Amino acid sequence: MRIKTLLCSAALAASSVLLAAPASAATSLDTTQPFTGAWSPFGDPDTSAYGQTFTVGADNVLDSFSLYLTGGVTNPVDFRAYIYGWDGSKATGAQLFASSLQSFTGSLYDNPTEFLFSTGGLGLTTGAQYVAFLFADFSGAESTASMPYSGSFGSEQMPGGGFVYYNAGDNFGALTSSNWDRFGEADDVWFKASFSQGDVGAVPEPATWALFLFGFFAVGGLMRSAKREQKIRVTYG
């Protein structure tokens, strides 16, 4: 009975360590401000790529992001959203996220439309820079829109990122092979991003892990002791 009691106590102490560990809070980026103006024109037959660069913090799983378009349009502006790495002057590496085809049908100029994209939990690298951008579809009727900038023109709302664009036409491959027309600037466009910790479960601190391991080995030691005691009883009983 004493062994059973000690085993239960040790196991309970070890398991409660994980339950007591606090979960990490999510991180959000948001450059939206009262509307003051917008970059244009985005779409066919003009600039095909508009976006925002950003730097990843400690919470490195990108769960969702938003970009905005605004203004009246003659025809729907069709596009897709993408996430790529950013090397300081152009998109780089493999495609990390691509949305389905989207359509912007217009809005009042000072009332931008939000396009929210869920990534399903995209693991990124802490400290690295990435670009979230819209790339216009050039296969339909020509039409352009605007992308609202944040704060006063030329102001920086989010360190570690900025508005970028590239006149690539329908040549998507040029986005990763040539420097973009605008990069490394301070000002931002309206952009939101939601991040969570890489491990969605609670991550214990080092001292907590030490307590957990102590409980684990205590359980193991008691079990070995119980086996030895049982063996002695069988041998000499």
Chain segment 178-228, per-residue pLDDT in tens:
999 998 677 899 999 999 998 644 444 455 445 444 444 454 554 454 444
Q: Which two tokens stand for residue 52?
A: 């925002």
pTM of the model: 0.75
Among residues 201, 204, 198, the alpha carbon closest in space to that of 57 is found at 198
What does the pLDDT read at residue 156?
A: 74
Q: Which of 43-57, 121-135, 187-201 has the lowest mean pLDDT?
A: 187-201
pLDDT class for 8, splitting at 50, 70, 90?
A: very low
Q: How many CB atoms lie within 10 A of CB 21?
A: 15
What does the pLDDT read at residue 198?
A: 87
18 phi-psi bin (left φ>0, alpha ψ -120 to 50, beta other): alpha
Q: Which two tokens stand for residue 204?
A: 């214990």
Please state, in angstroms and rounded to a whole number, the distance separating the CA atoms of residues 58 and 14. 28
Region 31-45 average pLDDT = 96
Residue position matching structure tokens 């030691």: 221
Residue position matching structure tokens 């990435």: 130
What does the pLDDT read at residue 7?
A: 39
Please state, in angstroms and rounded to a whole number, the distance separating the CA atoms of residues 98 and 76. 20
Domain residue extents for the chain:
1-22+204-218, 27-196
CATH of segment(s) 27-196: 2.60.120
Q: String of b and e for 136-174 (b: at least 16 CB within 10 Å)? A: bbbeeeebbbbbbbbbeeeeebbeebbbbbbebeeebeb
Between 40 and 156, residue with greater pLDDT: 40
Query: Would you say residue 17 has pLDDT above 90?
Result: no
Q: Which of 22-36, 125-139, 166-180 has the lowest mean pLDDT?
A: 22-36
Region 95-121 average pLDDT = 98
Report residue 102: phi and psi, to 5°: -115, 160
How high does pLDDT run on average in the chain?
A: 82
